[in-house]
């Protein structure tokens, strides 16, 4: 049995690829990335500098893949990795990084720091340095299918209740439907209006869709934890369900990392192309709008702004669609100062939201969002990720700010013609 350290180091070694080599070789330690990271700007603690969070991986790379490193390691000159090199970084990468990748956008030599941090997490997970909150969530996800411990039974009862309450149709397990809509547990338990909203919109647009009772969970704790094995297991379940139901297009719900995982990272985690298309619900809605299938009426007159979920805009490329939709119904839509691919994170991405230990820090870094909102004087904030929504609501409550957070899908559903 190998020690946690050995497992971690071996995993980190296996993570070194051409990009890692190129990135670490080109970092000049200029510190620019720190100025883009909310965990640094709001705490002024230099340890939250993005590139510093990748230190464990850099050390492994330096000692095993560079000439100087190999030389001094074989001569016994460089300090070998210790368990502390990993354990000390646990809080930095899990509590002090929301994987928002804002740092990636500003690095002068173009280093994708978020990509490196994701790899560090891989090593941490292998060595077992994962916060309890996340560990628990991933165990539940593997066991029940959802990190909140929600089972298919729970889903079915929620669906039944919605159907009854709102007199709507929510197709379950329909073979051959055009779209398979995935859900995050949040949307089943907390923001139930979401199901109602898409149901209304889809029936108005006249498209066939379904949810799966067997595997409905859109989030992927494997990705948050940085454990590719778990991530792949969860993805395989989606593949299984989609094949069974003969689905052509999978719809990612209002959840940031679900979208990037299905659309962009999933195929690479699995190592093969997916047998279906993936769209974000907003891409779909905007497409329906363009095709003339989605017509709205009336307007939402409150002054509102849009919070770009990092994984959907900066990491997902869904930038214009929500704006097109908002412009259709909200005449008083104003933009925040830093927006789109340079938005500020809500603070709860990358598994931070499931990590109770990180809460004080998360609320501290929310300050940046508070400043952005203070400048705007809005009464409503729209977003397209249920995780962001929870984080924003908590942050607003903590700061006693009277701003309502709503989902963009729900806003559209409320104004259906």
Partner 1 sequence: MFEQLVDGIFWNIALIVFFVGVTWRLITVLVLRSKRIDYSVARNSGVSGAIMANIRGFYPRKEVSGRIRLQVIAGYMFHLGFFVVLFFAAPHVKFIAQNITGFTYMTIPYWGFIVASEIAFAGLILLWLHRLLNPVTRLISKRSDHIATILVFVVMLTGCMALGEASSELRVLHRFSVELLMVYFPFSALMHAFMFIPSRAFTGVLLGRRGVNV
Partner 2 sequence: MTGIKDKKSARMRKAVYCCVLSLLFVLAAPLIPYVIDAHAEDVTSSKANKPVALQHPGINLWNDVRQRNEVTQGSSQVKGVDSGILINKTGEDWRRFRMEMLMPYGAYFMAAIVTAIVLFFLLRGKLRLPGGRSGELVCRFTLNQRTAHWFAVGIFWLLGITGLILLYGRFVLIPLLGADGFSITASACKEMHNLIGPLFLLAVLALLVLYIKDNFFNRDDITWITKGGGMFGGHVSAARFNAGEKTWFWLVMIFGFLLCITGLILDFSVFGQGREIMALSHVIHGISALILITVSFGHIYLGTIGVEGTLEGMTTGYVDANWAKSHHDLWYEEMSATAEEQQGIKQSVASSSTKPASSPAGD
* Shortest spacing between CB 36 and ligand SF4, in angstroms: 6
CB of 23 to ligand SF4, least distance (A): 8
Residues at the interface with partner 2 (CB under 8 A) = 43-47, 62, 68-69, 72, 78-79
Q: Are 353 and 221 in contact (CB under 8 A)?
A: no
Does residue number 239 form part of the binding site for partner 1 (CB under 8 A)?
Answer: no
Residue 97's binding partner among partner 2, ligand SF4, partner 1, none (Cβ under 5 to 8 angstroms by kind) is ligand SF4
Our CB check for partner 1 shows the closer of 16 and 190 to be 16
Segment 45-64, which members bind ligand SF4 (CB under 6 A)?
Answer: 50-51, 53
Task: Looking at residues 292 to 351 of the shown chain, list those that interact with partner 1 (rule: CB under 8 A).
Answer: 313-317, 319, 337-338, 340-342
Structure tokens that stand for 277 in this block: 């298309």
Q: Which of residues 254-283 bind partner 1 (CB under 8 A)?
A: 263-268, 270-274, 277
What is each CA distance from 127 to 5, 89, 113, 130, 317, in whole angstroms?
6, 12, 21, 8, 33
Is the Cα dihedral 105, 114, 357, 81 positive or negative?
Answer: negative
Q: What DSSP element (H or E) covers 107?
A: none
202-241 binders of ligand SF4 (CB under 6 A): none
Q: How far apart are CA 297 and CA 302, in angstroms?
A: 16
What tokens does 29 get?
Answer: 């330690």
User: Can you read off the two tokens belonging to residue 361?
Assistant: 């820090």
List 14, 68, 157, 160, residue binding partner 1 (CB under 8 A)? 68
Part in contact with ligand SF4 (CB under 6 A); list of ranges 82-90, 96-104, 212-220, 263-271: 96-104
CB atoms within 10 A of CB 394: 18
DSSP-assigned states of every residue in 298-357? S---S-EEEE--TTTTTTT---SHHHHHHHHH-TTEE--SS-GGGPPP-S-TTTGGG-GG
Residues that bind partner 1 (rule: CB under 8 A) add up to a total of 60
- Find the shortest distance in angstroms from Cβ 29 to ligand SF4: 5
25 is a site residue for ligand SF4 (CB under 6 A) = no
Binding site for ligand SF4 (CB under 6 A): 27-33, 36-37, 39, 50-51, 53, 97-103, 107-109, 111, 113-114, 117, 345
């Amino acid at each position: 049995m190998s020690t946690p350290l050995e497992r971690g180091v071996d995993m980190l070694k296996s993570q070194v690829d051409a990009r890692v080599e190129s990135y670490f070789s080109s970092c000049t330690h200029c510190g620019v990335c720190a100025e883009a990271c909310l965990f640094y700007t709001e705490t002024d603690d230099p340890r939250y500098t993005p590139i510093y969070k990748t230190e464990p991986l850099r050390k492994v790379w330096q000692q095993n893949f560079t000439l100087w490193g190999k030389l001094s390691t074989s001569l016994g000159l460089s300090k070998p990795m210790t368990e502390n090199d990993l354990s000390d970084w646990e809080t930095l990468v899990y509590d002090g990084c929301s994987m928002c990748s804002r740092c990636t956008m500003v690095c002068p030599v173009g280093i994708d720091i978020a990509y490196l941090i994701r790899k560090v997490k891989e090593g941490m997970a292998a060595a077992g340095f994962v916060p309890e909150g996340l560990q628990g969530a991933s165990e539940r996800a593997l066991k029940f299918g959802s990190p909140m411990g929600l089972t298919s039974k729970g889903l079915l009862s929620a669906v039944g209740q919605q159907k009854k309450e709102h007199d709507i149709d929510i197709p379950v397990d329909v073979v051959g439907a055009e779209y398979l809509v995935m859900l995050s547990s949040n949307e089943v338990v907390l923001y139930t209006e979401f199901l109602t909203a898409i149901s209304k919109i889809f029936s108005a647009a006249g498209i066939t869709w379904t949810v799966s009772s067997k595997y409905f969970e859109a989030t992927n704790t494997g990705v948050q934890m940085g454990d590719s094995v778990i991530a792949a297991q969860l993805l395989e379940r989606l593949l299984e369900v989609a094949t069974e139901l003969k689905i052509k297009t999978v719809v990612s719900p209002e959840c940031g990392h679900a979208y990037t995982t299905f659309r962009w990272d999933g195929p690479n985690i699995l190592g093969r192309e997916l047998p279906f298309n993936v769209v974000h619900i907003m891409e779909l809605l905007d497409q329906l709008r363009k095709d003339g299938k989605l017509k709205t009426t009336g307007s939402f007159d409150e002054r509102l702004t849009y919070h770009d979920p990092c994984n959907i805009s900066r990491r997902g490329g869904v930038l214009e669609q929500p704006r097109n939709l908002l412009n259709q119904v909200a005449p008083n839509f104003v933009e925040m100062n830093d927006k789109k691919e340079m938005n500020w994170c809500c603070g709860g991405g990358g598994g931070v939201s499931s990590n109770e230990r990180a809460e004080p820090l998360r609320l501290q870094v929310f300050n940046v969002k508070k400043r952005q909102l203070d400048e705007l004087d809005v009464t409503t904030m729209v977003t397209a990720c249920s995780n962001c929504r929870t984080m924003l609501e908590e942050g607003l409550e903590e700061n006693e700010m009277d701003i309502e957070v709503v989902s963009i899908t729900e806003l559209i559903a409320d104004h259906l013609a």
